[in-house]
Structure 1
């Protein structure tokens, strides 16, 4: 598995400029485009599926701030397991040390299984000026992780990282907008990857899981390593909760617990 650069935009990549161009079921998302990407008019491209899952920029910025506070100072690599059209990867690449200039992460690895979606991500990161700070991978993130742990020699040299100084960020698909109808969302039913499958894959590293806002906290609590606690944060935009992020330490880490609301604007 190797990194890729400069994937071409395809006919699945769209930059809609008028409401009439937008499929009816995506129109409400498109009307929120400046919250999702304030630089949308500069040439942001999206696939149709990406509108359902992209992280609004104010949330992406805030959660990266929280992620930096959660991980240890010697964590120098972060892997975005479901890069989508790049919203989270862009914020991770833009994160800096306290001096405001030095990148917080030496490596940001962004993995996406769909070529059109990854092409959009690379285009969007270029608009923000950080495309070259991100190592892009076209492939399955679980296969990448398997190789990283068991057969790193099968990865390109730029993808081989020290697991001890690497953290994971994962914004997996939730199974479509149907999750909104549940007062408490059962994470065991999340598709195509449920909570248990995600945690099992990621537990050897500190990891942050971007989950539906109504996720069952009892299910998340069961993931706490022995003797440790976790952070769970609700992220809001204009007073409305958009998602919940669980910051979970690696199996041998101990962290403090916080369940709190964190408005982002």
Structure 2
């Protein structure tokens, strides 16, 4: 029997022993397997078993669903997988109901609209099962926190299909730390219906708006209000204790803490921030793009804060001068630069940029002055005179005394007419390029690049 099975595998897939253990489960993956289903090697261990997929789909009846990592099953970055998915959809007679898209979900997110978003990102191959507790930052191509934030920019109705050994506390964290908090229902990955029938329904538990279901019945509706409140309180304390461990009792940073890996990908390796740093540091993805334009140049980071931009400039530029008036921020920036191994390429300066400007020399000036805290978002149009510690016009003039090559990192709602005014009122007029900055499908800020000549 074993030889017969192996001969069938070899007939269909050559001599690839990696799929042997999955091939025997082929009808669990696709009940119409023999009618023309096609899969690549990754598809064998990553496709959702059909019975599970059916249960997931039943909850979304009549809705518009975006399948973000469709694999062989309508967005996927791999053209080969899209071709396989189209073939398999034809086998099931549903190809005409699907818009197949070859592309990167992270880049496509701003243009997507739907009622429900299905996230089944790569788990890193079969080796996921060897990890005792699978963490969200192990997901590919981005950590689970970033993927979830991207999904939230489209809809709050999100399905995540995850490994059986996933850290459930992290999932509860995604729900609790969303604004507003989301309801979360966790259902075990069971693909054999008789196993459900043979087990009595276990009771559910509700925790701070997070409903964890241990069976497919909804016993949670019979729980007393006092029990629900007790469980909610417990999870709230657990989440807050994690944040407090990192940041003391500063509850204001809760909504930013969930995005910590967007701010610093090496957050867990010793990154330190003060409260202001949480809402003022440039997300790493944006900082990388800003720095790449000035490879090999001398850059002056005039309001360096906790070092988000300083670190990325130091990676590619010949040298960086990082200035901040707050000694605590400079100390934090030095620590963070050491985490990234670039501290020796940065001159850290405690001082007021406005007073130091006459003595500064560099090829590029980076201006990311304080925007006035999170309240900047409350304005329909953010004016340059709202910047701190001086209005944007004054800061720009001071920067021009050093170099015409200036970068300004500004709120997404900044008055662009005022930014353009800075360029054409200069003598001589400066070239200006305005870049909208997105992270996880959401527009975060605007970067204005001024130059006299090509840098």
Q: TM-score, structure 1 length as denominator?
A: 0.73
Matches within 5 A, 1:18-37: 18-20=242-244, 21-37=248-264
User: Which of 407, 411, 415 pairs up with 1:208?
Assistant: 407
CA 1:228–1:190: 2 relative to 1, 3 Å: closer
Measured after TM superposition, the shift of residue 137 of structure 1 is 0.6
Measured after TM superposition, the shift of residue 196 of structure 1 is 0.6
User: Which of 361, 366, 369 pairs up with 1:172?
Assistant: 369
Measured after TM superposition, the shift of residue 120 of structure 1 is 0.7
Alpha-carbon distance in structure 1 between the residues aligned to 2:369 and 2:332: 18
Deviations 1:6-45 (A, max 9, x none): xxxxxxxxxx981244411111111211111111111111
User: Which of 292, 297, 301 pairs up with 1:76?
Assistant: 297
Alpha-carbon distance in structure 1 between the residues aligned to 2:366 and 2:412: 17
User: Which of 218, 242, 246 pairs up with 2:417?
Assistant: 218
Q: Which runs of 5+ in 2 are unaligned?
A: 1-239
Deviations 1:162-196 (A, max 9, x none): x5xx2101110011111101222111232322111
Q: Which residue does the alignment assign to 2:269?
A: 42
Q: Which residue does the alignment assign to 1:92?
A: 313
Measured after TM superposition, the shift of residue 114 of structure 1 is 0.9
User: Which of 336, 341, 365 pairs up with 1:129?
Assistant: 341
Deviations 1:43-100 (A, max 9, x none): 11111121121111111101112445xxxxxx731100011111101000111xxxxx
Q: Which residue does the alignment assign to 2:439?
A: 237
SS in 2 for 1:79: strand
Q: Which fold has the larger relative contact order, with Cα–Cα distance below 8 Å and residues 6 or more apart in sequence?
A: 1
User: Which of 113, 122, 135 pairs up with 2:325?
Assistant: 113
2:400 is the counterpart of 1:199 = no
Measured after TM superposition, the shift of residue 203 of structure 1 is 1.5
Alpha-carbon distance in structure 2 between the residues aligned to 1:181 and 1:57: 24
Alpha-carbon distance in structure 1 between the residues aligned to 2:270 and 2:386: 36
The answer on whether the counterparts of 2:371 and 2:386 sit within 8 Å (CA) in structure 1 is no
CA 1:17–1:80: 2 relative to 1, 3 Å: farther
Alpha-carbon distance in structure 2 between the residues aligned to 1:192 and 1:112: 12
The answer on whether the counterparts of 2:262 and 2:285 sit within 8 Å (CA) in structure 1 is yes
Q: Which residue does the alignment assign to 2:215?
A: none
The answer on whether the counterparts of 1:82 and 1:171 sit within 8 Å (CA) in structure 2 is yes
The answer on whether the counterparts of 1:108 and 1:135 sit within 8 Å (CA) in structure 2 is yes
Which range moved further: 18-27 or 78-87?
18-27
Alpha-carbon distance in structure 2 between the residues aligned to 1:22 and 1:52: 16
The structure richer in helix per residue is 2
Alpha-carbon distance in structure 1 between the residues aligned to 2:382 and 2:294: 24
CA 1:228–1:139: 2 relative to 1, 3 Å: closer
Q: Which runs of 5+ in 1 are unaligned?
A: 1-15, 69-74, 96-104, 149-160, 256-265
Deviations 1:185-223 (A, max 9, x none): 111232322111111101141110111111111101111
The answer on whether the counterparts of 2:369 and 2:387 sit within 8 Å (CA) in structure 1 is no
Q: Which residue does the alignment assign to 1:62?
A: 289
Aligned residues: 208
Deviations 1:240-263 (A, max 9, x none): 1111111112xxx256xxxxxxxx
CA 1:137–1:183: 2 relative to 1, 3 Å: same
CA RMSD of aligned residues (A): 2.0
Alpha-carbon distance in structure 2 between the residues aligned to 1:113 and 1:227: 31
In terms of Rg, which structure is larger?
Answer: 2
